[in-house]
């Protein structure tokens, strides 16, 4: 499990899970190694859980975690928040490795909890196509 600064193309920290650990536990250890003050942490749907969000908040960072349909309760909460607000939105299309990809993100402020300053990301991702 590793963390990197995307724009700088720089590796920041790496943790290899022990035999009794999994990727989620290793990712939490990576977060503990970093000063995330005023930084935005992105992660895929595997890391969309309260422990990751709290770990990022504890390190004074903000987060954008992917949310998939198999997290029905969280997805309903995100959709309700998006329906009640005017979200900021960004879209991106690109062709890479012989695939066309399209992503759309809608961002709304989350309810403040324990001093959190973060926002919530609800991404929409069109399946990758060969072509």
Query: pLDDT tens string for the chain (131 positions)?
Result: 788 887 788 888 888 888 888 989 999 999 999 999 988 888 887 888 889 888 998 999 888 777 777 778 877 887 887 788 887 888 888 887 788 888 777 777 666 554 444 444 444 444 444 44
**Whole-structure pTM over 0.85, yes or no?**
no
In a domain? residue 19? no
In a domain? residue 6? no
In a domain? residue 79? yes
CB atoms closer than 10 angstroms to residue 106: 20
The answer to whether residues 121 and 107 touch, using CB atoms and an 8 Å cutoff, is: yes
- Concatenate the DSSP letters of all residues of 18-75 into one string: PTT--HHHHHHHHHHTS--TT-EEEE-GGG-SHHHHHHHHHTT-EEEE---TT-HHHH
User: How many structural domains compose the chain?
Assistant: 1
CA 19 – CA 92 distance, rounded (Å): 38
In a domain? residue 91? yes
In a domain? residue 26? no
In a domain? residue 30? no
For residue 81, give its domain range: 35-130
In a domain? residue 16? no
In a domain? residue 68? yes
CA 55 – CA 62 distance, rounded (Å): 10
């Amino acid at each position: 499990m590793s963390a990197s600064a995307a724009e700088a193309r720089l590796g920041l920290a790496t943790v290899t899970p022990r035999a009794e650990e999994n990727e989620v536990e290793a990712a939490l250890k990576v977060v503990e190694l970093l000063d995330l003050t005023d930084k935005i942490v992105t992660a895929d749907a595997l890391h969309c859980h309260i422990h990751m969000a709290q770990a990022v908040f504890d390190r004074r960072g903000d987060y954008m975690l992917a949310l998939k349909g198999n997290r029905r309760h969280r997805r309903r909460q995100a959709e309700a928040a998006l329906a009640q607000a005017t979200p900021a939105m960004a879209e991106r299309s690109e062709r890479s490795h012989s695939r066309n990809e399209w992503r759309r993100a809608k961002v709304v402020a989350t309810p403040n909890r324990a001093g959190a300053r973060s926002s919530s990301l609800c991404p929409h991702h069109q399946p990758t196509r060969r072509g």
